[in-house]
Amino acid sequence: MKQDILARKLERIDDLPSIPSMVFEAVHLLHQPDITVERLTSSIQLDQAIVSKILRLVNSSFYGFQGRIGNLSQALVLLGFNAVRNAILSISILDIFSDLGKDFDSRLFWLHAIGTGVICQVMGHQLKYPRVENLFVAGLLHDIGKLVIIKLFPEDFFKILKEVREKDISIIEAERAVLGMDHTEIGYRMAEKWKLPQEIQEALGFHHCPWNAKENRAMSATVCLSNCLCRALDIGCGGDALVPEIDPKVLTILGIEPLFIAGCLEDIDLEMERAKSFLTIFNENELRSPS
Amino acid sequence: MIKSKEKTIPIEKLTPDMTLAMDITKPNGDLIFGQSGRLTKPIIEKLKRFGVKKITVLVERADGHQDPRYIKKEMKEIEEGLDYRFRRVRHIPLMMELKELIGEHLKGKLTS
């Protein structure tokens, strides 16, 4: 019976908007080995809202071009296809969750999301991982399941926050108590629906237990550690004011000692200042603190 | 090959604010400290405990942040904030080690 209730709740995820078909086409084209800038540009520019947000983002200090990119073709050439793919995916997914009610502090949520993405990217560079751009997207979207809960189950979401406050427990514990499932299961389901790369799906689904990932355990472990560091550094808010326990298996998967983290902190500070401009992809009325 | 702006020195001659020129690893390849990390006194002591004898550093010092306004009160607020956020994991040595590293970094920003 309980399983039926959970299954029906998860099916409601299908009610959420899909990512626009242009995005899938662009993402598909970006993977083709012989794709041209002209072909990509003509596909993406069918959606002028996305084009304008891409240009706003790429001209922000996040990418460091500072107003020098005037059109989409330039953005594709200067940033590279992976970075543009991730920008398109991030913008279109963020668009789906642009209005979550006046009682939700979206600014603090997105600061935490961006912070986790930045920390993932910094660690990925230090560890010399390939596909560091995917690490940023995984970090940015790791808590997307929480936004699904707010959108689809708003009354349950406020019960969850009440549990966190009154019992001093983590948000994931409160989600399991109120909903019978948590944001990682929901996030994984969303990432499947959006056909994100398998390693990103896993990072959303296993960032609290990365040893369970199959495709790319290191990516899930990086998101796990980055989420913890983001909370320890008090960047934004993930729903509670607690630093989660890091299992020593996470450091074993990454092949690092704890002292390695100290070497990342200065870069995190520098990158975080630039990354706050990522918030420019939102309009002012999309980002609010509770009144 | 060591580039012209780098220098290899005994760990006893290391001073805070020097920057590594390459990663420090254990014999099995596990990363102890990353190349772009900034060295501080507590970190140098910890590196000695790993048995590191020599380190290659960049000769030029990184610019530090100057902010004379920060005082002891700010340090106390940092400590209290960390105590609060780490309150449910204070019995776990790995988490306390992480808390100490974060605390040193945040307090270091006040005094640099």
Residue A290 pLDDT? 55
The torsion region of residue A101 among left (phi > 0), alpha (psi -120 to 50) and beta comes to left
| Residue B51 falls inside a structural domain | yes
B67 in any annotated domain: no
Which of the listed residues B14, B29, B58 is the one where a domain comes to its end? B58
Asked if residue B86 lies in contact with residue A240, where contact means CB atoms within 8 angstroms, the answer is: no
In a domain, B1, yes or no: no
Q: Is CATH 3.40.50.2000 what the domain over A2-286 is classified as, yes or no?
A: no
Q: Where are the domains of chain A?
A: 2-286
Q: Please report, as a single letter, which amino acid is at residue A209.
A: C
B51 and B13 belong to one structural domain: yes
Which ipTM was obtained for this model?
0.82
**Distance between CA atoms of residues B53 and B14, nearest Å:** 11
Say yes or no: B42 and B77 in one domain: no
Q: With CB atoms and an 8 Å threshold, state whether A266 touches B87.
A: no
- Same domain, yes or no: B78 and B46: no
Question: B10 and B54 share a domain?
Answer: yes
Paired tokens of A81: 């296809």
How many domains would you assign to chain B?
Answer: 2
Contact A18, A39 (CB under 8 A): no
- Give the gap in angstroms from C-alpha A179 to the nearest C-alpha of chain B: 23
Confidence grade of residue B54 (pLDDT, cut at 50, 70, 90): confident
Percent of chain A with pLDDT over 90: 42
Give the integer Cα–Cα distance in Å for A148 and A191.
Answer: 12
What pLDDT was estimated at residue B68? 39
Span B39-67, mean pLDDT?
72
| Tokens (6 digits) for A252 | 């074993």
Extract long-range pairs of A96-100: CB within 8 Å, 24+ residues apart: A96/A16, A96/A17, A96/A19, A97/A144, A97/A147, A97/A151, A98/A282, A98/A286, A99/A286, A100/A147, A100/A150, A100/A151
Q: Count Cβ atoms within 10 A of the Cβ of residue A214 and give its class: 0-12 exposed, 13-18 middle, 19 or more buried.
A: exposed
Residue A42: predicted pLDDT:
82
- Report pLDDT for A263: 93
Confidence of residue B64 (pLDDT cuts 50, 70, 90): very low
pLDDT tier, A186 (very low <50, low <70, confident <90, very high otherwise) = very high
More confident residue, B73 or A231: A231
CATH of the domain at B52: 3.90.105.10
- Chain A residues with CB inside 8 Å of B99's CB? 232, 243
Count of Cβ atoms closer than 10 Å to residue B4 Cβ = 6
Candidates A242, A259, A270, A273: best to mutate against B (most CBs of B within 10 A) is A259
pTM score, two decimals?
Answer: 0.78
Which residues on adjacent β-strands are paired with residue B60?
none
- What is the reported pLDDT for A124? 94
- pLDDT at position A76 is 82
Q: What value does the mean pLDDT of chain A take?
A: 84
Write the CA distances from A206 to A119, A185, A186, integer angstroms.
17, 8, 11
Q: Is the pLDDT of residue A140 over 80?
A: yes
| Residues B35, A126: C-beta atoms closer than 8 Å | yes
The pLDDT value recorded for residue A2 is 57
Q: Which residues 243-282 in chain A show a CB within 8 A of chain B?
A: 243-246, 248, 251, 255-267, 269
Range of the domain at B19: 6-58
CA separation for the pair A25, A35 (Å, rounded):
12
Helix (H/G/I), strand (E/B), else coil: B32: strand
Q: Considering B15, B34, B58, which residue would you say is the last residue of a domain?
A: B58
Task: Answer whether A232 sits within 8 Å of B84, measured CB to CB.
Answer: no
Q: Determine the pLDDT at residue B61.
A: 43
Backbone φ, ψ for residue B58 (5° rounding): -80, 140
